Amino acid sequence: MRKIYNNAIVFTGVFTGLLLSSCRQGNGSQNTVAVADTLHTAAQGDKNTEDTVAYMLPSPMQIGVIFRRAGLSYMPGLTNQTKDISKYDSKYSQALNMGIYAADLTYCVLNRQNEDAMSYLKTLRSLADKLGFGSVFEINNMAKRFEQNLNTEDSLTDITSDLQMETDTYLGANNEKYIGAISFAGAWIESMYIGSKVYGAKTNDRISDRISEQMTILNNLIKSLNSYSSRDSHIPELVNALNAIESTYSSFPEVKSTGDSNQEAKLTNEHISQIGKQIEDLRQKFIS
- Tens of pLDDT, residue by residue over 69-118, are 666 778 889 999 999 899 999 999 999 999 999 999 888 888 888 889 89
Q: Is 181 helix (H, G, I), strand (E, B) or coil?
A: helix
How far apart are alpha carbons 283 and 113 in whole angstroms?
Answer: 22
How far apart are alpha carbons 73 and 62 in whole angstroms?
Answer: 16
User: Concatenated DSSP letters for 7-34?
Assistant: T----S----HHHHHHHHH--HHHHHHH
Q: Is 58 helix (H, G, I), strand (E, B) or coil?
A: coil
Identify the pLDDT of residue 39.
29
Mean pLDDT of 200-225: 82
Find all residues with CB under 8 Å of 257, minimum gap 6, and list them. Answer: 265
Domain extents in the chain: 2-287
Identify the pLDDT of residue 262.
65
> Could you read off the pLDDT of 249-286 as tens digits, one per residue?
999 998 888 766 666 778 888 998 999 999 999 999 99
Identify the pLDDT of residue 149.
86
* 194 pLDDT above the threshold of 70: yes
Beta bridge mates, 54: 3
Identify the pLDDT of residue 159.
82
Q: Is 111 helix (H, G, I), strand (E, B) or coil?
A: coil
End-to-end CA distance of the chain: 34
* 246 pLDDT above the threshold of 70: yes
* Residue type (1 letter), 161: S
> Could you read off the pLDDT of 137-184 as tens digits, one per residue?
888 888 888 888 877 877 877 887 788 888 888 988 999 999 999 999
Q: At what angle are helices 153-173 and 60-69 packed, to 10 degrees?
A: 150
Identify the pLDDT of residue 30.
39
How far apart are alpha carbons 124 and 107 in whole angstroms?
Answer: 14
Mean pLDDT for all residues in the chain: 76
Q: Pick the more confident residue, 206 or 134.
A: 134
Identify the pLDDT of residue 287.
95
Identify the pLDDT of residue 11.
34
Under DSSP, the state recorded for 59 is -
Per DSSP, the chain holds a count of helices (H) and strands (E) of: 13, 2
